[in-house]
Each structure stands twice: as C-alpha cells, then as structure tokens.
Amino acid sequence: MNKKQFFLSIVLASLIGGIVALAGASYLSKQNTASNFAEKQDTSFVNWLSDDKFTVPDGINFVASAQQVTPAVVHVKSTLSITQRQRGGGDPFEEFFGFRSPNRDQMPQEARSSGSGVIISEDGYIVTNNHVIENATKVDISLENNARYTARVIGTDPTTDLALLKIEEKGLPFVKFGDSDMTKIGEWVLAVGNPFDLTSTVTAGIISAKARNIGILRSAENNLSIESFLQTDAVVNQGNSGGALVNLAGELIGINTAIASRTGTFNGYAFAIPSSIVKKVMDDLLEFGTVQRGLLGVTIRDVTPDLEEELDKKLGVSQGVYVFGVNEGSGGKEAGLQEGDIIIGVDGSRTNSVAKLQEMVARKRPGDKVDIKYLRNGKEITASATLKNISGDTKVVRKEVPVVASFGGVKFEDIKPNIKDRLKIRGGASIISIENDTWKKSGAKVGFIITSVIGPEGRYRISGANDLIALLEDSKGEEIVILGVYPNGQEYYFEIQVE
C-alpha cells in the first residue's frame, strides 16, 4: 500500500466512523426525548432480532413468533401489605385514637400476587394490567433469563385495567406494537405469559370475536370503563394477566386480561385489551403520567330487539348505538346529537355496539375531532365532534409529581390522590424505602402511610412528606408514636426513638 492509498483508507474509515457515530447519537437522542412508543420502537439494531428474521414463515408456524416474543414477556410479582387479626385485650391507643396495637389485634403481613408484563421499549418500559400491581408496595420483575429488577410504577389506568412500569436497564428485547384493527376473526394468535408461576409459557389459538364487553370493569372510577376485548380460545390462566397476545409476525395485538370461567381456570375463552387502546394509554402515561380521556358526552345503549320492545317502537336498524341522553356543553351536544339518534360510525369505522364506539373514542384525547355518522328518523347524518375531558374542556391533564423526602435512611413521599380518595384521608406520607434498622425493628413497612404522630406535646396530623420530615427533625432524641394506615385500609401504629 503506497502513501496515497494509506491516507485515503484513513479518510474513508474516518468518514464511516463519523456516519455511524452520528446515526448512533441521533438514535440515542431520539430515544431519550421520545414522547410515545412509536418513536421508542422505531429502530431495528437495538432489538434482539434483526428485521430479516422478523418474518412469518410459509404455512402455519408458531416458532418464529414464540422466539421473537418470549424473551420480552416478564414475570411481575407484587408485594402487598395486609393485616392478620389476632385476639387480644383492650388497648389505650384503640380507645382514644382508634388505632390497634401491632402486638395485640393486628400484625402486618406481606401478601404476594403474580402476573405477567410485556417489555415495549429497549430502555425498560413494561405494560401490564392494573389489577396485577394495584395497591402494591413493591413490584419485582423477572426476565426469561432470570435477571431481576425492582420496577417503578409510572402510571395506571383502572378504566382500561392497564399500567405502565419502568425498570432501569438498556438494550432489552421488546415486542413491537401491531395493529389490532387488522386482526381477523379466525386468525391464529399466541398468548405468552406466566400462568401458575410457570414462566415463559406459550399457547396458541384463534381470534374468536372482537369488541367484547364482559362487564368486569364496571366499578372503575367515574363509570368511564372501556371494554372492547379481543376474544380468543388460546389457553389463558391465572398469572397470564398482563401478558402478550401476538400475531404470527410476533407483533403485540393485545394484553391478556381476563377469562370466562366459573372455576377460576381456563374454560374455553380469554379476553385481551386490543393494542389500539394499549398503545394510546401507554403513550399518555409516558408523556403525561395520567390518561387523557376524550369524551363524546352521551348516554348510550346497544340497539337490540329488547331495546325496541322497551321503547315500544321500531328503530329501523338492527345494529348500532342508541343515544339516550346528551350532556349539556359536551362535544356530542355541540355536534348536534340528540336523544333518539343512532350512532352507526366513527371516523369511517362501523360502530355496531357500545363497546366498539367506546373503543374508537378512547383512542382520542380531549381536543381531538371525530366524525360521527348517525341516523335520525331514518336519515343518515354526518357531523364533526370535538371531544372534551371529564371537566368539560379540552385541557391536557398532567399527573402531579409527588414530593419525595428522606430522614435517617427512610424515604417518604406524598400519598397519591387516588389512594387519598379511596382511603378517605386528608393527607399523609407513604414510606417508600427503609434503610434504617431502628425503623425496621419498630414495625415500619414499605407502603405504610403515616397520617399522624403523637409526641410529648400531643398529636400532629401529617399533610405530606415535607411536613413529616420537619416534625421528625424537631423530635430528635424523643420517643414518638407513629400512626397510619396500609393501602388496604388496615390501621396500624408503632413506637420509635427518633435518632
């Protein structure tokens, strides 16, 4: 090699290296600033398989899909605090303050629940069911390769039974979102999860129905539950909740959530939240910490022969969504909807049922517009409606970041608004980690919510984490009684010498 060739090779190598570095920097910047999972998943070289292997073989073959998905389906184990009652005598704290002694009536215990989750980005975001991690004081994640992590709960949505978790890791395998709208009844699918603690279990079945409403989320907050499940006959059991339902290309088309059973075990049918809803909810939780719900503002029921009999009139259509009422100031009202209208389409998609209409609207955020096709006295009308939030406006709602504070190796945070509402308490500070042996031996547990403290000068109610820290600083060297409640509603107290 002469001098000219040598220098030319150096220049070429530098150019190639620069291009690769720029591409890598561009990718990392994009991943760090991504506000949705389409951007986070828009890459091929970080996933565990390359695109040329991400194909469906000729004929029916489950192997490629199972190999692609299994490493990205995790085991989710939740720790919950419960209280075991014991018989005992009277207690002065119970008489005067309504709290029972841990040494007499109540002993805090730990319970565990188990489910599944799906990694949806290489940097550790995981989707699972809300009911898998609800009221958990700690969430542990186990990968197929036995690697273990403790997860943070980024956000939850009881109305769809979904939750977004995060573990601190990079370069993880993940499952790409597929389009649940494109799935067909009769199409082959795989369910991947951890039934009965049997990790990485794969079962096969077909899509047997779409837009199913089975009434399992009726108790969700504000009656805003969304049920438009994919129904499948792939075997799903306890522990599969939060796991993946994928097509033969290994794409996530649903999150397995429920089974139809009288025994608690699989009885022929299972139900999954479609990816059209999952992706929207995950994007909301990632960007805002809470779900942005766009509402049409109507009271609705399925068109059925029973409804015609109840109304004592023919509706002139066998399928659709009957409008019973329209809220004042709602997007539906402003679009001209009236009682007695029958909605038959949203954004060009047929809405034969309430479940399908709710699914279509649930993909939108407040401020988004939807085209509504409806019948009035047999005449077909199309109108544009601007969706609003539950407050009646189009503002984006952001989750408040709780205050986190530390004292002597114990970390506290303000209690979350939904827990405050559920327990009907005015304030408090939740214990989120304990690295202090004195606190551990005194009976303090992660997840315990401190609502008040009894010191030498009386009882003080705790409004939040900073309030508690200030009180503990002022109580150094003194013995105090800490009173509170566990997330399950059980009251508890313990005594401690503040150091």
Q: How many CB atoms lie within 10 A of CB 35?
A: 11
Helix (H, G, I), strand (E, B) or coil at 353: coil
396-429 exposure pattern, b = at least 16 Cβ within 10 A, e = fewer: ebeeeebeebebeebbbbbbbeeeeeebebebbb
CB 73, CB 192: distance < 8 Å? yes
The Cα 392–Cα 217 span in angstroms is 23
Q: Which of 78, 81, 131, 225 is catalytic?
A: 131
Query: Is 181 among the residues known to form the active site?
Result: no
Q: Would you put residue 171 in left (φ > 0), alpha (ψ -120 to 50) or beta?
A: left
Residue 242 is encoded by which pair of tokens?
């939060």
CB 222, CB 181: distance < 8 Å? no
The Cα 165–Cα 62 span in angstroms is 28
The Cα 266–Cα 259 span in angstroms is 6
C-alpha closest to that of 334 among 376, 387, 378:
387
Residues facing residue 29 across a β-bridge = none
Q: What is the CA radius of gyration of the chain?
A: 27
At position 230, the amino acid (one-letter code) is L
Sequence-distant (≥ 6) Cβ neighbours of residue 126 within 8 angstroms:
74, 76, 117, 118, 119, 120, 141, 151, 164, 165, 166, 167
The Cα 219–Cα 444 span in angstroms is 32
Q: Which of 161, 233, 341, 467 is catalytic?
A: 161
Helix (H, G, I), strand (E, B) or coil at 380: strand
Element (H, E) at 471: helix 465-474
Query: Is 284 among the residues known to form the active site?
Result: no
Residues facing residue 259 across a β-bridge = 270
Query: Is 91 among the residues known to form the active site?
Result: no
C-alpha closest to that of 492 among 99, 136, 105, 109:
99
Q: Which of 81, 116, 241, 276 is catalytic?
A: 241
C-alpha closest to that of 321 among 295, 350, 294:
350
Helix (H, G, I), strand (E, B) or coil at 498: coil
The residue assigned the tokens 């000068």 is 457
- DSSP alpha helix (H) spans, 129-233: 130-133
Residue positions annotated with a catalytic role: 131, 161, 241
